[in-house]
Amino acid sequence: MTELNILVTGASRGIGKAAAQELSGRVYVTGRDENALKLCDSAGYCVCDLAENIDVLAGFIEDKNIDVLVNNAAEYIYGAIEEASKEDIQRLYAANLMAPAYLISKAVPHMKSKKWGRIVNIGSISGVMGEAYAGLYSSSKAGLIGLTKALALELAQYNITVNTVNPGWVDTDMGRNSAGEFSTEEIIETIPQRRFVEPVEVAKLVKYLVSEDARGITGQSINICAGLSLGI
């Protein structure tokens, strides 16, 4: 197979950065922080806020003939639902669910023509289990799981796989900052393995799902949460 054209969203830090470093091919990155993107060892980058100027990235996808799309970028809001503004709700769903769907729609024509493609959506254990005071985030990630299942059926005949990876607590800025009123020690007590997942662990799972070894895996929602989904 020729060298793959890969796009990772939200690649300036955390899981996205780890995935971009782990994947092999012409890896393109996107995010809001141009300075951080410049520091990535990538084939190129596109500065984009998924909730504001997504058409810029849509054009980039069509221009680069993306074979592998990793939808990683996301917004997180912690707070009671009655405190969420209309703007909060619109922005979170735009970034977390509408953007992945739209970017997939732009990547699929090339994948279909090639009869090969890989789409990996980064969900969350919150989309599997639900998270109090993070209803917007949880529901957007649950929607991503539903989108994954439907598109896996729709695209299977074209040798395009679609899967969702659901991290639990990950040792990233977003993971640490989304703790709300809970301390790190209190969070760790809720995790069976008593640790945060490392970004590289998620990245290696993404790498496997992109590989030919995983060609029979599609439509799946895979948890990587140090046992969090099982209870204490």
On whether the CB atoms of residues 161 and 220 are closer than 8 A, the answer is no
- Give the mean pLDDT of 215-229: 96
Q: Is the pLDDT at 74 greater than 80, yes or no?
A: yes
Task: State the catalytic residue, choosing from 28, 45, 76, 137.
Answer: 137
Q: Is the pLDDT at 178 greater than 90, yes or no?
A: no
Band (184; pLDDT cuts 50, 70, 90): confident
Domain ranges of the chain: 5-230
Q: Is the pLDDT at 232 greater than 80, yes or no?
A: no
- Give the mean pLDDT of 9-18: 96
On whether the CB atoms of residues 165 and 120 are closer than 8 A, the answer is yes
Q: Is the pLDDT at 179 greater than 80, yes or no?
A: no
Q: How far apart are CA 98 and CA 49, in angstroms?
A: 13
Band (187; pLDDT cuts 50, 70, 90): confident
Q: Is-catalytic flag, 208?
A: no
Angle separating helix axes 14-22 and 199-210, nearest 10 degrees: 50
Q: What is the pLDDT of residues 153-173, one digit of tens each?
A: 999 999 999 999 999 999 887
Q: What is the pLDDT of residues 85-138, one digit of tens each?
A: 999 999 999 999 999 999 999 999 999 999 999 999 999 999 999 999 999 999
Residue with tokens 């439509």: 219
What pLDDT does residue 44 have?
A: 96
pTM: 0.95
Band (185; pLDDT cuts 50, 70, 90): confident
Band (2; pLDDT cuts 50, 70, 90): confident
Q: Is the pLDDT at 142 greater than 70, yes or no?
A: yes
Rounded to the nearest integer, the mean pLDDT of the chain is 94
Pick the CATH number of 5-230 from 3.40.50.720, 3.40.50.2300, 3.40.50.1220, 3.40.50.280: 3.40.50.720
Reference 158, options 206, 110, 126, 193; nearest CA is 110
